[in-house]
Amino acid sequence: MSVNEADRHHELPDNRDERNFVHVHTYTAETGVANSHQHVITGVTAPARAEGRSHVHRIRVRTSFVDGHWHWFDLVTDTATNFQTQHAHYYAGVSSVQAGHSHPVNGVSGLATNLDICSAVYNRPDEEEE
């Protein structure tokens, strides 16, 4: 999923309690082959941001340096996919064009625990309190 202007300017929480709980995921992937080579991306997502009754993460990363160049990826993950007590995010996108070509990438983030605190941090108005 591509990043839109609203995603680019999403601000981090300014409440100290919210800043103490920063929900992120790790990721590692190889790009698709282009011009007889491929790159690697690895890193940590940006903090979670609400998306409906779930959340997404931004991935902005520079690839490994191969064949005298690198590329940038700037994308937003899909919403969370739950696996019992944990969840992950699918992601896919196309890199910037460098040296006359780009690379596709797709993958799944590392797992993170499902925590009840997420509801309060995301301030989701569509969830009822018990």
Residue 96 domain-assigned?
yes
On the question of pLDDT at 95 being above 70, the answer is yes
Residue 90 domain-assigned?
yes
Per residue in 21-43, pLDDT tens? 689 999 999 999 999 999 999 99
Residue 47 domain-assigned?
yes
Residue 79 domain-assigned?
yes
pLDDT band at 2 (very low <50, low <70, confident <90, very high): low
Four-CA torsion 128, 82, 6, 126, nearest 10 degrees: -10
Distance CA 125, CA 127 (A): 6
pLDDT band at 69 (very low <50, low <70, confident <90, very high): very high
Q: Between 82 and 14, name the one with better pLDDT.
A: 82
| Full residue range of the structural domain in which residue 97 is found | 5-122
Residue 127 domain-assigned?
no
Distance CA 91, CA 109 (A): 8
What does the pLDDT read at residue 9? Answer: 60
The count of structural domains within the chain is 1
User: Which whole number is the average pLDDT over 74-79?
Assistant: 97
Residue 130 domain-assigned?
no
Cα 57 off chain centre by: 4
What does the pLDDT read at residue 6? Answer: 62
**Radius of gyration over every alpha carbon of the chain, rounded to an integer in angstroms:** 16
Residue 128 domain-assigned?
no
